[in-house]
């Protein structure tokens, strides 16, 4: 007996399996549970090494202080969750990939198979670049305002919040080449178009930097905007000489 259209059963369409709405929701819930479990496990392991992580993060400033008894505990939790997110990011992205891939065509799946690890690697590259080069320069800039009557004393919790809000945007900024390559692959932009819009890109880079910068000073905004402009130029080169567009 044939099944009625109203039944929530899986059917075949164009030779591939199509899931019902209920099946999609169940699949989505399963993926969310896996992501939460991965984040929890990675954060729990990171908590064991929270003190070592604090030492690494505090290298640009040296000694840190805590202003109330609970500050250390909650700061350890915050750094553990942040480190857990970075560790579990490949799992999170993979679960997203597995959820959306059934809707892709075969060619789109091959492209996404390349773009997914590229997304993770570029995000890590942005975090590392910010920590290694931008953060120390930013800290030295702010410490330059110290005087004989004004000496810096960094709070553990405040400094950690500053570091996270400072380095995290670079993970997003470093995704620019990937986004532009995708747009070029889809035929929305080409290298000639991007070269013509270079001035607009520079303006939007500083506007975006002003929005996501953890502090309102021009130095922090410039340290975010300049890499964006450089990544834009790299994207133009990739699209012109690799994609031939």
- Could you tell me if residue 5 is inside a domain? no
227 in a structural domain = no
Residue 12's beta-bridge partner residues?
17
Contact status, residue 21 vs residue 8, Cβ threshold 8 Å: yes
Backbone phi, then psi, for 11, in 5-degree steps?
-125, 165
Q: How far apart are CA 137 and CA 60, in angstroms?
A: 9
Please provide residue 216's backbone torsions phi and psi, each rounded to the nearest 5 degrees. -85, 5
Q: Please tell me the total number of residues recorded for the chain in this structure.
A: 245
Instruction: Tell me which residue of 111, 90, 122, 99 sits closest to 31, measured CA to CA.
Output: 99
Domain membership of residue 229 (yes or no) is no
Closest CA to 65 of 138, 142, 134, 158: 158
- Residue 52 maps to a domain: yes
| Residue 57 to residue 50: CA distance in whole angstroms | 10
163 and 135 in contact (C-beta within 8 Å)?
yes
> Is 221 inside any structural domain?
no
Most confident of 31-40, 205-214, 219-228: 31-40
Q: Is the pLDDT of residue 140 over 70?
A: yes
Residue 16: strand pairing partners? 13
Strand segments, DSSP code E, in 67-175 are none
- In sequence order, the 6+-apart residues with CB closer than 8 A to the CB of 138 are 166, 219, 220, 223
Q: Which domain does 58 fall in, by range? A: 11-174
Overall domain count for the chain: 1
Cα 124 off chain centre by:
8
What is the mean predicted confidence (pLDDT) over 218-229?
82
Does residue 96 belong to any structural domain of this protein?
yes
Residue 64 domain-assigned (yes or no): yes
Instruction: Indicate whether 20 pLDDT > 80.
Output: no
Which range of 43-52, 61-70, 112-121, 187-196 scores highest in mean pLDDT? It is 43-52
Q: Indicate whether 182 belongs to any domain.
A: no
* Region 135-164 average pLDDT: 83
């Amino acid at each position: 007996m044939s099944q009625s259209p109203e039944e929530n059963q899986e059917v075949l369409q164009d030779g591939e399996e199509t899931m019902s709405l209920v099946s999609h929701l169940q699949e989505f819930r399963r993926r969310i549970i896996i992501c939460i479990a991965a984040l929890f496990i990675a954060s729990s392991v990171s908590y064991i090494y929270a003190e070592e992580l604090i030492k690494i993060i505090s290298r640009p400033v040296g000694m840190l202080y805590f202003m109330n008894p609970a500050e250390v505990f909650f700061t350890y939790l915050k750094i553990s969750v942040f480190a857990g997110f970075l560790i579990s990011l490949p799992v999170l992205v993979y679960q997203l990939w597995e959820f959306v891939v059934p809707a892709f065509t075969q060619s789109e799946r091959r492209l996404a198979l390349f773009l997914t690890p590229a997304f993770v690697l570029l995000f890590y590259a942005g975090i590392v670049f910010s920590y290694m080069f931008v953060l120390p320069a930013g800290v030295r800039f702010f410490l330059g305002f110290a005087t004989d009557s004004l000496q810096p004393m960094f709070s553990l919790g405040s400094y950690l919040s500053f570091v996270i809000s400072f380095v995290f945007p670079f993970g997003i900024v470093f995704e620019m080449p990937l986004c532009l390559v995708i747009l070029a692959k889809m035929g929305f932009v080409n290298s000639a178009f991007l070269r013509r819009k270079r001035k607009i890109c520079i303006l939007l880079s500083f506007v975006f930097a002003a929005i996501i910068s953890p502090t309102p000073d021009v130095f922090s905004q410039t340290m975010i905007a300049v890499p964006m402009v450089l990544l834009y130029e790299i994207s133009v080169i990739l699209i012109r000489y690799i994609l031939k567009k």
